[in-house]
Structure 1
Amino acid sequence: MFYTYAIKSEDKNYIYVGLTNNPDRRITEHNNKKERTTRSYAPFKTILIE
């Protein structure tokens, strides 16, 4: 099963939307700056998982 997730930067005006089969792992990767495209916007708050 795949999930759509949206996360919002806590420090900047930035929202990222992604698709994954493991939202908890993926959001942790974003918050740990392991994703190059969102690294400069961390930390994130989850706003949607569907």
Structure 2
Amino acid sequence: MEDQAYVYIMASARNSTLYLGSAVNLPKRVWEHRSGVVEGFTKKYGCKLLVWYELVRSWEAARQRELQMKGWKRAWKLREIEGLNPDWDDLYDRIAQP
């Protein structure tokens, strides 16, 4: 699927600061967050753990889902994370290119 994209959540630690974003190239974008090569929220607050992601059909759908989820209460986001990743493991190795 050429147009696929991702919605994702980065965290600084379990139940700590969360960052919600969307990207076409998830491994590259997560690497940017982890490496601190881009100034912004994730660098300032140390959000380096990929704790949740979802594949969607297009960039537009990813952006729409991101905006929808940004309107959610924190408890809803935590439930979403723990539904996929109850131990809050760093999921980067699952998506990283070999």
TM superposition score category, shorter chain reference: 0.7 to 0.9
Runs of 4+ in 1 over 2 A off after TM superposition: none
Tell me the residue number matched to 1:21: 24
Q: Tell me how large the CA RMSD over aligned residues is.
A: 1.4
Larger radius of gyration: 2
Q: Distance in 1 between matches of 2:39 and 2:24?
A: 16
Aligned length: 48
TM-fit CA distance, 1:43: 5.0
Structure 2: gaps spanning 5 or more residues: 55-98
TM-fit CA distance, 1:41: 1.9
Structure 1: gaps spanning 5 or more residues: none
Tell me the residue number matched to 1:44: 48
TM-fit CA distance, 1:42: 2.1
**Where is the strand percentage greater, Structure 1 or Structure 2?**
1
Identity of aligned residues (%): 27
Preserved CA contact (<8 Å) 1:29 1:35: no
**Where is the helix percentage greater, Structure 1 or Structure 2?**
2
TM-score by length of 2: 0.44
